Amino acid sequence: MSLAVEQIALLERDSWFGAIAPERRDALLASATIVARKNGARIYATGDPPNGLWGVVEGRVRLLDYPVVGAEVLIRSLGPGAWFGELSTIDAGPRPQDAVAFGSVTLLHIPHAVWAGLARSLPDLHHDLALLACAHQRAALAFIGQRVAQPVPARLAGALLSATHDGGQGPLAIRQDELALIVGVSRQTLNRTLKSFERDGVLRTRYGAIEILDPDRLRRLQEGVSVAP
């Protein structure tokens, strides 16, 4: 089984993967295996040894943390084109989070040993992967800052912009309960805020998806600026 042309194009639209030199990009794709996971399947669990680098081709993957017993925190929801699992691939340490399929997913998998061989022959891949780790670290710091200081509309706008980046083009295939976890609010509060965005022409909601109509106004919302046209 091989990737379709449109799937490769989607992966190359990712800001990280698309910036890698073509030689190294081709080497990663040639070394990857295509795997499928059903809804709820764990791709890896907290504390697991490294099992390589992963890319999302279809569907979504949730990165989950458990700061205290009985509490589940959604760290990130990754859509088609996004890559993950880089931290343990870099330092060979245990996985810091669970990665769980949200719906049926199709993934690219580069096993840890295969990655090590690639990096020996193409050492600049170490720099590439470090840049992915940096991008995710910056996103995590921004996420923490938003949860602590920003009002709900700004947090929601930031979460939607992040999901747009992670999910490629087209409507966001994201459920409202998932989005509420990311923003850190109740489903009712999220629904009220989404409706206000919809009234202002920023987005359109549909079952299981959100269509962004005006990304510029969404960015202004994230910055706490009025969205009046």
Domain annotation covers residue 29: yes
Domain annotation covers residue 227: no
Asked whether residue 64 falls in the same domain as residue 131, the answer is yes
What's the chain's Rg over C-alpha atoms?
18
Percent of the chain with pLDDT strictly greater than 90: 57
Alpha helices in 13-75 (DSSP H): 22-31
Asked whether residue 43 falls in the same domain as residue 141, the answer is yes
The reported pLDDT for the residue numbered 1 is 59
Domain annotation covers residue 114: yes
Q: Model pTM?
A: 0.72
Which CATH number fits the domain that encloses residue 56? 2.60.120.10
Asked whether residue 217 falls in the same domain as residue 179, the answer is yes
Asked whether residue 214 falls in the same domain as residue 112, the answer is no
Q: What integer is the mean pLDDT of 27-42?
A: 96
Domain annotation covers residue 228: no
The reported pLDDT for the residue numbered 229 is 47
C-alpha span between 170 and 159 (Å, rounded):
16
- Condensed to tens digits (0 to 9), the pLDDT of residues 165-199 reads 655 556 787 778 878 877 888 889 999 999 999 99
The reported pLDDT for the residue numbered 29 is 95
Q: Please give the residue range of the domain that contains residue 76.
A: 5-146
* CA-to-CA separations, 90 to 17, 118, 127, 163, in angstroms, rounded: 16, 13, 10, 25
Q: Count up the domains in the chain and report the number.
A: 2
Q: Is the pLDDT of residue 212 over 70?
A: yes
Q: What is the DSSP letter of 58?
A: E
Taking a C-beta distance cutoff of 8 angstroms, is the pair 163, 77 a contact?
A: yes
Domain annotation covers residue 50: yes
Domain annotation covers residue 70: yes
Burial environment of residue 155 by CB neighbours within 10 A (0 to 12, 13 to 18, 19 or more): buried
The reported pLDDT for the residue numbered 159 is 84
Asked whether residue 166 falls in the same domain as residue 128, the answer is no
Asked whether residue 136 falls in the same domain as residue 194, the answer is no
Domain annotation covers residue 30: yes
C-alpha span between 107 and 129 (Å, rounded):
18
Q: What integer is the mean pLDDT of 106-134?
A: 96
- Condensed to tens digits (0 to 9), the pLDDT of residues 46-59 reads 999 999 999 999 99
Out of 146, 172, 194, pick the residue that ends a domain: 146
Domain annotation covers residue 167: yes
* Closest C-alpha among 92, 40, 32, 73 to residue 56: 32
Out of 131, 146, 161, pick the residue that ends a domain: 146
Q: What integer is the mean pLDDT of 194-209?
A: 90
* CA-to-CA separations, 87 to 19, 36, 51, 54, 138, in angstroms, rounded: 19, 22, 11, 11, 14
Which CATH number fits the domain that encloses residue 203? 1.10.10.10
